[in-house]
């Protein structure tokens, strides 16, 4: 769960938010009544589930053993039913659906399921989401079209991990999972087949003739890769696109426009500033606590998100059942100044705090750089507002835009305006964000946060099946982040989509951070029907 989920192919569900050129016009959106053209901010690096693509579900090329409905409830997909689970929570048995074929016409087998999971778990496979399957001890095929997972420890949300897409062993098994052609020429059991991919421009999909779920009414759809928000809005208004993901202020310009409909999805997606512990300023706990108190979250929601979001008091949104309501806190600028005073950060002549020098002018300035990805207006606005709030407490934040190629090697020392958030279970997002074992592991635990009490609580939440025990564990994590923050949590963002009103059956889900390409009203595009 990261700001971009790593540039390499390892976690490819992430969407690159910078450096992708606007594509040429893919053609008139839906001119024949059976096709759809959607404008998205970016494209994945790979389409292989072995490297992380589609791991949270909603891939149109693949299916998992299970899937999620509009309310995020698990439902059977390639499995006939939800899994049978032993009383000790250590064995999960799935029975495969009969008659399912891959898009090349070959049948799905239990060997394909075993191959998929074993390859993801293989340390030679470049998948940085491997820790999400840490509980798996073994996966094997059994008689009667069954697949059996044996766990090392009871992992309460394990069924939610089995939305992982299944790949064909007869193709992917003959290739190196890290470099093989399957990464860009995928074959799956999903409702659509990739028919063309022009890197940096567009991906086109067509209906899978072998799809087990029935023939979709939308025969083809194109994801047009358009990095610039304003260009996406312009092309949508011109009719070049049928729909697009847009930031709140641009989506608002379509309000009341004839033939257009706006869809608003609640999400786990939050914006936060990473505060690297190895930086001499952001590594100071007093600085981190002062920033947490100084930030005006309510103003960010109102002014930057135009009300389409909520203040973020931690990684879980306020309406999540696992959210610890006692961590809600108002802005306290006086408290921020007091924290810095007590920690020995003195105010210099320019208003910026300094520390450790015999004379103020010789001290270490409370100053650091905050990076954000070029072209992302929402993150830019968050960064500027954050810097303004910080300065009022005497902390100087220099805001700088850069491509991810520039940001990535600097994350160890410089703060980043990042995006995270996973739906389904608190373990899905919090473990990779905070556990010290993942510090500096790509975009996992970007702040290199380390707190023994948090590690212990995360491990308890991951390994217990008792709801009360888990609630207490995640309460501990959320309270620890107030006292010892590794990030400054800013806002939870609602995702907004504007589409031509030509189809019915469109719905939104409670979405993760990764959105636009997989998530969005098109999560169930195979179920859309022409408007009457």
Question: How many Cβ atoms from other residues are within 10 Å of residue 89's Cβ?
Answer: 16
Q: How far apart are CA 250 and CA 474, in angstroms?
A: 36
DSSP symbols for 205-219: EEE-TT-TT---S--
Judged by DSSP in three states, 312 sits in: coil
Judged by DSSP in three states, 94 sits in: strand
HSE value, Cβ hemisphere, 13 Å, CA-based, for 432: 23
Nearest to 267 by CA among 517, 73, 494: 494
Burial (CB < 10 A; 0-12, 13-18, 19+), residue 325, is exposed
Q: How far is CA 432 from the centre of its chain?
A: 11
Would you say 7 and 408 are in contact if contact means Cβ atoms under 8 Å apart? yes
Q: How far apart are CA 267 and CA 431, in angstroms?
A: 18
Q: How far apart are CA 403 and CA 231, in angstroms?
A: 19
Inform me whether the pLDDT recorded for 13 exceeds 50: no
pLDDT exceeding 90 applies to what percent of the chain? 79
Nearest to 103 by CA among 203, 209, 204: 209
The C-alpha torsion from 489 through 303 and 383 to 326, rounded to 10°, is -10
Fold of the domain spanning 270-493: Dipeptide-binding Protein; domain 3 (3.10.105)
Nearest to 192 by CA among 34, 350, 352: 34
Mean pLDDT estimate for the chain: 91
pLDDT at 32: 57
pLDDT at 116: 98
Q: Where are the domains of the chain?
A: 9-189+494-530, 270-493
pLDDT at 328: 97
- SS3 per-residue string spanning 114-167: HHHHHHHHCCCCCCCCHHHHCCEEEEEEECCCEEEEEECCCCCCHHHHCCCCCC
Q: Give the model confidence (pLDDT) of 60-115 as tens digits.
A: 999 999 999 988 899 999 999 999 999 999 999 999 999 999 999 999 999 999 99
Inform me whether the pLDDT recorded for 329 exceeds 90: yes
Inform me whether the pLDDT recorded for 233 exceeds 60: yes
Would you say 188 and 63 are in contact if contact means Cβ atoms under 8 Å apart? yes
pLDDT at 33: 67
Over residues 283-299, mean pLDDT: 98
Q: Give the model confidence (pLDDT) of 376-406 as tens digits.
A: 889 999 999 999 999 999 999 999 999 989 9
pLDDT band at residue 359, thresholds of 50, 70 and 90? low
Inform me whether the pLDDT recorded for 343 exceeds 90: yes
The listed CATH number (1.10.8.80, 3.90.76.10, 3.40.50.620, 3.40.50.2020) that belongs to domain 9-189+494-530: 3.90.76.10
Over residues 186-201, mean pLDDT: 96
pLDDT exceeding 70 applies to what percent of the chain? 93
Inform me whether the pLDDT recorded for 30 exceeds 50: no
- pTM here is 0.88
Q: How far apart are CA 397 and CA 7, in angstroms?
A: 26
């Amino acid at each position: 769960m990261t700001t971009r989920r790593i540039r390499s192919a390892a976690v490819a569900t992430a969407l690159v938010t910078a450096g992708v050129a606007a594509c040429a016009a893919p053609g008139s959106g839906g001119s024949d009544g059976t096709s759809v053209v959607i404008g998205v901010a970016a494209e994945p690096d790979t389409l292989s589930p072995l490297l992380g693509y589609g791991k949270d579900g909603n891939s149109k090329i693949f299916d998992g053993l299970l899937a999620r409905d509009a309310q995020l409830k698990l439902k059977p997909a390639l499995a006939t039913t939800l899994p049978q689970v032993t009383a000790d929570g250590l064995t999960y048995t799935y029975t495969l659906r009969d008659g399912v074929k891959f898009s090349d016409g070959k049948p799905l087998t239990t060997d394909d399921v075993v191959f998929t999971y074993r390859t993801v778990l293989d340390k030679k496979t470049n998948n940085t989401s491997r820790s999400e399957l840490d509980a798996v001890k073994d996966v094997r095929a059994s008689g009667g079209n069954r697949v059996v997972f044996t766990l090392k420890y009871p992992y309460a949300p394990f069924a939610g991990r089995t939305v992982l897409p299944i790949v064909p062993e007869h193709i992917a098994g003959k290739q190196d999972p890290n470099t093989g052609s399957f990464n860009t020429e995928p074959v799956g059991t999903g409702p659509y087949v990739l028919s063309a991919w022009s890197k940096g421009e567009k991906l086109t999909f067509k209906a899978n003739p072998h799809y087990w779920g029935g023939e979709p009414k939308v025969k083809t759809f194109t994801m047009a890769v358009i990095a610039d928000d304003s260009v996406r809005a312009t092309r949508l208004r011109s009719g070049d696109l049928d729909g697009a993901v847009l930031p709140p202020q641009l989506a608002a310009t379509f309000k009341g426009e004839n033939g257009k409909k706006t869809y608003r999805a609640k999400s786990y997606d939050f914006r936060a500033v990473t505060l690297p512990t190895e930086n001499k300023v952001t590594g100071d706990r007093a600085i981190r606590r002062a920033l947490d108190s100084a930030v005006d979250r309510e103003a960010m929601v109102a002014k930057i998100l135009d009300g389409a979001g909520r203040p973020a008091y931690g990684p879980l949104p306020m309406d999540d059942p696992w959210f610890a309501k006692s961590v809600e806190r108002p802005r306290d600028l006086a408290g921020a100044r007091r924290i810095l005073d007590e920690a020995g950060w003195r105010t210099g002549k320019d208003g910026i705090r300094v520390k450790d020098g015999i004379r103020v002018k010789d001290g270490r300035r409370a100053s650091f750089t905050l990076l954000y990805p070029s072209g992302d207006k929402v993150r830019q606005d968050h960064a500027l507002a954050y810097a303004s709030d910080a300065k009022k407490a005497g902390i100087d934040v220099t805001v700088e835009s850069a491509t991810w190629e520039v940001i990535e090697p600097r994350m160890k020392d410089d703060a980043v305006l990042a995006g995270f958030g996973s739906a389904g279970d608190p373990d899905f997002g919090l473990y990779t964000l905070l556990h010290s074992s993942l510090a500096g592991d790509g975009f996992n635990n970007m702040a290199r946060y380390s707190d023994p009490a948090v590690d212990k609580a995360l491990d308890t939440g991951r390994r217990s099946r008792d709801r009360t025990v888990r609630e207490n564990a995640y309460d501990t994590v959320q309270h620890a982040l107030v006292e010892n923050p590794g990030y400054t949590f800013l806002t939870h963002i609602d995702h907004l989509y504007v589409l031509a009103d030509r189809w019915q059956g469109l719905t939104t889900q409670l979405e993760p951070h990764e959105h636009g390409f997989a998530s969005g009203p098109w999560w169930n595009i195979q179920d859309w029907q022409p408007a009457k």
